């Protein structure tokens, strides 16, 4: 069995929305052992939908279509598909009742257009939507299957995982691909490769594959294999854990740096406070995204203006005048006073030039100082990132969390082998 994806939506064609659904679906199909050999992106146009279905059914046994199931006039996917199979639309009463209950619970008026979201092609099997209103549906056609889901990523993911995956697995009979994910931070891709690779080819037998997937929070090492590659994959994973030990944040597709930091803070009964300038609260946001963070995060200050740095964090005005806000002394003071003000065991600070303007030859755009304070260690780290404002904010926040993770784990080296300055 092989698959074709069809992504429906004018917003995808004109660049208003990035088609993240196609990437996510392709990854899940691969895990199910079903190669996706084509992705078609089309507008909300009945003729385009019909042409795409003709092409897909010509050489694919599974067609996954997303988008156009909403209640507005430009959502034409359902009616077009019903006409394509020469059937009418019928109301799926369980979905109809569920949509009514959702609107009632939210105190939102229920309109006729909302009711039509429960109408499905007569030859379709409903795929309930646990995260939204419009259900998906599955149509079996001449030895092939068409799965249709909403374009809203959260809703699509829920339907695919909860409803479509078991049905497709039963239809395909393919051997699923097993994946292991190791999340790494604070090290460059080339340096990580030098650490891990070695004679790694000896592990890549029996269909075992190793991929490096860089992203703004670090690097994901993905080990993939089929049923016969289990032993070789286990040896490779053991090798990676040993070679990259200090840089490993966690394992599993859902592992994250912020989750690891919060769990480590909790296990050590340590509380954290932040003083952020250039990151504008990004560190606090990442930490408080983790359930249970209230037990370890006491609070933070976004000290963007120098008056806030001096007024709330006691950074001396003379220090700001002599060294500037983006400096080691200021970062050190901000970290120490964050812990003091909030009664925390660890204080972390950021001060930098996010850009795209404001840099000088001595202090270019992308320059960031990150301060760390605890009863045991007090230091600052100087880093240089990008000319992109958002990337600078995100990378600075990630580095701050990675510094905390390493300190809690007793790892003396700092991210990217930077040297601490006291």
* CA distances (Å), origin 315, targets 44, 45, 284, 329, 393: 57, 60, 21, 9, 22
CATH of 178-251, one of 3.40.50.300, 3.40.50.150, 1.20.120.790, 3.30.70.2860: 3.30.70.2860
- Quick: pLDDT tens for 134-159: 999 999 999 999 999 999 999 999 99
pLDDT (mean) for 233-251: 95
Whether 289 has a pLDDT exceeding 80, the answer reads yes
DSSP H or E run through 121: strand 119-121
Contact indicator for 177, 31 with CB cutoff of 8 Å: yes
**For the chain, what is the mean pLDDT?**
94
Nearest CA to 147 out of 134, 130, 163 is that of 163
Q: How confident is the model at residue 31 (pLDDT cuts 50, 70, 90)?
A: confident
Nearest CA to 153 out of 59, 28, 278, 285 is that of 28
d(CA 133, CA 108): 13
- Within 10 angstroms of residue 25's Cβ, the number of other Cβ atoms is 24
CATH of 257-417, one of 3.40.50.300, 3.90.950.20, 3.40.50.2000, 3.40.50.2300: 3.90.950.20
d(CA 330, CA 380): 9
What's the pLDDT score for residue 74? 80
- Quick: pLDDT tens for 171-205: 887 778 889 999 999 999 888 888 887 668 888 99
Contact indicator for 156, 149 with CB cutoff of 8 Å: yes
- Quick: pLDDT tens for 52-76: 999 999 999 999 999 999 888 788 9
Q: Enter the pTM of the model.
A: 0.83
- Quick: pLDDT tens for 353-400: 999 999 999 999 999 999 999 999 999 999 999 999 999 999 999 999
Start-to-end C-alpha separation, the chain:
61
CATH of 3-172, one of 3.30.9.10, 3.90.1580.10, 3.30.70.1430, 3.40.980.10: 3.40.980.10
For the chain, the domains span 3-172, 178-251, 257-417
User: Angle 189-196/230-243 helices, nearest 10 degrees?
Assistant: 120
Whether 317 has a pLDDT exceeding 90, the answer reads yes
Secondary structure (3-state) at 204: coil
- Within 10 angstroms of residue 333's Cβ, the number of other Cβ atoms is 26
pLDDT (mean) for 4-13: 97
């Amino acid at each position: 069995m092989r698959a074709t994806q069809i992504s429906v939506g004018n917003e995808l064609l004109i660049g208003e929305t990035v088609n993240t659904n196609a990437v996510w679906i392709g990854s899940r199909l691969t895990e199910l052992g079903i190669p996706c050999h084509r992705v078609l992106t089309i507008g909300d146009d009945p003729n385009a939908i019909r042409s795409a279905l003709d092409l897909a059914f010509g050489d694919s046994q599974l067609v996954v279509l997303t988008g156009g199931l909403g209640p507005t006039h430009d959502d034409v996917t359902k009616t077009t598909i019903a006409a394509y199979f020469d059937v009418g639309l019928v109301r799926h009463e369980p979905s109809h009742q569920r949509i009514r209950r959702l609107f009632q619970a939210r105190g939102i008026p229920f309109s006729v257009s909302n009711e039509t979201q429960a109408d499905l092609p007569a030859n379709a099997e409903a795929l309930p939507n646990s995260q939204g209103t419009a259900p998906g549906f599955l149509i079996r056609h001449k030895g092939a299957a068409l799965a249709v889901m909403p374009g809203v990523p959260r809703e699509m993911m829920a339907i695919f995982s909860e409803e479509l995956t078991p049905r497709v697995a039963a239809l395909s009979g393919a051997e699923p691909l097993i994946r292991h994910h190791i999340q790494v931070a604070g090290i460059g891709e080339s340096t990580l490769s030098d650490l891990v690779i070695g004679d790694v080819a000896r592990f890549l037998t029996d269909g075992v594959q190793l991929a490096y997937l860089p992203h703004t929070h670090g690097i994901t090492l993905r080990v993939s294999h089929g049923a016969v590659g289990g032993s070789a994959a286990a040896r490779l994973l053991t090798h990676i854990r040993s070679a990259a030990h200090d840089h490993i944040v966690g394992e599993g597709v859902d592992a994250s740096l912020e989750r690891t930091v919060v769990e480590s803070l909790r296990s050590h009964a340590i509380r954290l406070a932040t003083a952020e300038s250039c990151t504008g609260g990004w560190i606090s946001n990442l930490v408080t995204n983790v359930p249970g963070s209230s037990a370890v995060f006491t609070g933070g200050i976004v000290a963007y203006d120098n008056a806030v740095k001096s007024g709330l964090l006691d950074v001396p005005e003379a220090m700001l005048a002599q060294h500037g806000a983006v400096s080691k002394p200021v970062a050190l003071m901000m970290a120490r006073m964050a812990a003091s003000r909030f009664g925390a065991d660890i204080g972390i600070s950021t001060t930098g030039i996010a850009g795209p303007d404001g840099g000088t030859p001595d202090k270019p755009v992308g320059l960031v100082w990150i301060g760390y304070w605890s009863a045991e260690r007090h230091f600052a780290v100087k880093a240089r990132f990008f000319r992109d404002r958002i990337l600078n904010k995100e990378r600075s926040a990630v580095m701050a969390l990675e510094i905390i993770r390493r300190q809690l784990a007793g790892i003396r080296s700092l991210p990217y082998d930077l040297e601490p300055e006291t």
